[in-house]
Structure 1
Amino acid sequence: MSETFVAAYDALLARWPTGTAELTVPTPYGPTRVHAYGPQDGAPLVLLHGGGATGTSWFANASPLGALHRVYAVDILGDVGRSERAGLPLRTPRDLTAWLDAVLDGLGLPAAALCGHSYGGWVAAAYALHRPRRVERLVLLDPTQVFGGYQPGYLLRVLPMLLRPTAQRVGAYLDWESAGTGVDEDFKRLYVLGATLRGRGRPVVGRTLDPGPLAMPVLVLFAERSRVHDAEATADRARRLLPRARVEVLPGLGHHTMPTAGAAAVNAIMLEFLGKPPIRRGR
C-alpha cells in the first residue's frame, strides 16, 4: 500500500467524529478493518461502502447515525483499504457471505441493521438473502446489480478505466459520473489512488440478484442523477419486486456522491426508517 494512498485514507478518517474506534476483526479470510462510532450499547448498524471507496467514505454519516446507533463501517475484504487477504481464498459470493458472518461474529453481533452503497449494496442484499435472521433492517443506497444491471452507455464509459486504470482516466470517469453533484475532493483523491494501486486485487462480484425473497424491512434510495442506471425506472422495478419496501429517488444526487453530498437527506431518511432503537446491554 503506497504512502500517498495511506495519507489519503487517513485524511478521510480524520473527518470522522472524535471518539471513533479503529478495530481489526480477525476472520478466516484475513483481518478486517472496521471504524466504529456511537454508544457502546446502541443498536448496531453495519455500513458497507461502494467499490473503491473504503469504510472511511462514511465520514458525513457517522456522527448523525452514531447519535443513536453503534455504527460499524467495514473495509470490504478484497477491495482497497486496510483489510488484508490472508488465510482462506476469497473468490465467490459464498466466501463473501462467510467472511461477513465472521465479521459480525468478531464484533459480537448476532444480528444488525445493514446498509450498503453501490457495490456494498449488492454485498448487503446478497448477505440478507442468505442470512435473513442476521439482518434486522436493510438499507440500500443506489445499489448496483440488485434491481437490474448497468446501463450500456455507462459500461462503455467505464470499461477503459477498468481495463487500464490511470489517474487521468479514473479522475475523468469520476468527474463525468458525478458532474454537478458535489464530489468531495478528499474522496476523489482516495478513489483515484485506490483504483490505480499497483497490485490491487479484484473485489468479489457475482450475478444480478433476485431480491424478491427479502422479508425484513427494506429502504432503497436512488440517486436521481446516477449514470449507472435510470434511477426512476430502477426505482419502479424495486417497487414491483419489493412492494412493502420504502423506495425513493433523491433529487440532485449522483451515484458516487450519495453518502457525502447527499448526507443530510440520506441520514434523515435512514434514521426515520431505522426508528429509535432499543438500548442493548452487554456489548
Structure 2
Amino acid sequence: MAKISSIYVNPKNKAKIMSIYNKHLSQWPVPYESLDVPTRYGRTHIIASGPKEGPPIVLLHGQGGTATMWLPNILALSRDYRTYAIDTIGDLGKSELDDLNIYPKNGRNYSEWLGDVFNELGINQTFVIGESRGGWITINLSIYAPERVKGIVLLAPVGISSLLGFILKTILMMGFHPTDSEKVKFLRWSLGNNPLVCELLDEILITSMNCRAKYSWPSKFSSKKLKQISAPTLLFVSGSDPTFNKQKDIDRAVKMIPNNQLEFMAAGSHAMNIENPDFVNNRIIDFLKGIEMAKENFI
C-alpha cells in the first residue's frame, strides 16, 4: 500500500472538504475569529465566537465531521458565552498534524492535547460540549483533567455502549469498498432523514469515508471510569441512535456518573443537536446557567 502524506489521501478530497467547510462557515450566524494554536501534535484550528469576557464553552465534534457541525447551535450558545468550536487534531477540518504517525492514541493523550489548546487560549476551566466521539473525548478530559472542566454536556457520546454491534451492521451495509449509494443508505440508517442533517453532514461524511483520519478507537468506559466523572453532566441520548444498542448501558451511565441529568429524546437520532436545535440549545443553556447559579450561591 502506498504511503500517504495527508489524512485526505489526495488533493481532491482535501479541496472538497475545505469547500464544504468554508460553505458552512459562510453561513455562521454570528461574528467569529479563526484561530490557530500550536500543540504537541500539531496546529489546532478553532472557530471562536461570542463575547470575549463570557464564560468559555469548548465544542468537540463527532468523528468524520468538523467544527462547523455546530452551525445550528452556535447562535444560541454564543449569546452569553465565549464559544470555541475546535477541529479535532487528526480528523477532518483545518487542524493539521505535524507527523501522521504521531497523534493521540488514547483518552489521556486527547486530554493532554486539549490541555495544550486551553493553555494557548488562556482557559483555566471551561464547560465542554461533545457530540458522539467528541463526547468520548469530553469524558476522558473530565477523568484525566477534572480541574479544567466546569461542567460537561454529552450528546450521544460513544463509549457508553459497546460499538461492536454498530460496527458489524456498518460492515454488512457497506462492505469495505462502498458505493456512494451504499454510503447514503448507511447515513440514513445511522442519522435519520432530517433535511437539515442531510444538508449539513451528508456531503462531508461521504467524502470523509475516502480519507484516512488519524485517531484512537473509542473504547467502552468501565463503570469504574464513569464513577470518576466529577463534573456536573448533562447526557443526551435518543431512542433511535444505533450507537446506543442496550438500555442497560444507559441505565449504567445514569447510575455510575455521580452528578448527572439525563435527557432522553425518544424520536431523535445520533445527530440530535442538528435535528432539534432549539430544544437542545435551550436545555444546554439552562443546565449551564444552573451550574453558574449554584456556584454563586455556594460562594
Contact kept? 2:58, 2:129, Cα under 8 Å: yes
What does residue 240 of structure 2 align with?
225
Higher relative contact order (CA 8 A, sep 6+): 1
Is 2:38 aligned against 1:26? Answer: yes
Is 2:167 aligned against 1:149? Answer: no
Contact kept? 1:53, 1:187, Cα under 8 Å: yes
Q: Distance in 2 between matches of 1:232 and 1:11?
A: 38
Superposition TM-score, scaled by structure 1 size: 0.89
SS at match of 1:220: strand
Is 2:250 aligned against 1:235? Answer: yes
**2:79 is matched with which residue: 67, 78, 85?**
67
Pair 1:69–1:91, CA change in 2 (3 A): closer
In structure 2, list runs of 5 or more residues that go unmatched. 1-10, 294-299
Q: Distance in 1 between matches of 2:237 and 2:175?
A: 24
Contact kept? 1:239, 1:247, Cα under 8 Å: yes
Pair 1:44–1:166, CA change in 2 (3 A): farther
How far 1:157 moved relative to its partner?
Answer: 2.2
**2:88 is matched with which residue: 70, 76, 89?**
76
Contact kept? 2:132, 2:155, Cα under 8 Å: yes
Superposition TM-score, scaled by structure 2 size: 0.85
Structure 2 letter corresponding to 1:179: G
**2:264 is matched with which residue: 236, 242, 249?**
249
Pair 1:166–1:130, CA change in 2 (3 A): farther
What does residue 3 of structure 2 align with?
none
Q: Distance in 2 between matches of 1:151 and 1:44?
A: 35
What does residue 281 of structure 1 align with?
none
Deviates more, 1:201-210 or 1:163-172: 163-172
Contact kept? 1:181, 1:254, Cα under 8 Å: no
What does residue 199 of structure 2 align with?
185
SS at match of 1:259: helix
What does residue 54 of structure 1 align with?
66
Contact kept? 2:227, 2:258, Cα under 8 Å: no
Largest Rg, 1 or 2: 2
Aligned length: 273
Contact kept? 2:180, 2:206, Cα under 8 Å: yes
Contact kept? 1:181, 1:252, Cα under 8 Å: no
Structure 2 letter corresponding to 1:168: S
**1:211 is matched with which residue: 226, 235, 253?**
226
How far 1:141 moved relative to its partner?
Answer: 0.5
Contact kept? 2:238, 2:264, Cα under 8 Å: yes
Is 2:142 aligned against 1:128? Answer: yes
Structure number with higher helix proportion = 2
Q: Distance in 2 between matches of 1:179 and 1:50?
A: 16
How far 1:206 moved relative to its partner?
Answer: 4.3
Structure 2 letter corresponding to 1:275: K
Q: Distance in 2 between matches of 1:206 and 1:233?
A: 19
Pair 1:123–1:162, CA change in 2 (3 A): farther
Is 2:207 aligned against 1:196? Answer: no
Q: Distance in 2 between matches of 1:144 and 1:206?
A: 7
Q: Distance in 2 between matches of 1:177 and 1:64?
A: 26
How far 1:18 moved relative to its partner?
Answer: 3.3
Structure 2 letter corresponding to 1:58: W
Pair 1:231–1:21, CA change in 2 (3 A): farther
Post-superposition Cα deviations, 1:37-84, rounded to whole Å, max 9, x if no partner, equal 110000000010010111110001111010111010100001111110
Deviates more, 1:84-93 or 1:127-136: 84-93
What does residue 167 of structure 1 align with?
180
Q: Percent identity?
A: 28
**1:11 is matched with which residue: 9, 12, 23?**
23
Q: Distance in 2 between matches of 1:246 and 1:7?
A: 38
How far 1:275 moved relative to its partner?
Answer: 0.3
Post-superposition Cα deviations, 1:208-262, rounded to whole Å, max 9, x if no partner, equal 222111111111010221111137443322211125310121132110x212112
Q: CA RMSD in A?
A: 2.1
In structure 1, list runs of 5 or more residues that go unmatched. 279-283
**1:266 is matched with which residue: 280, 284, 294?**
280
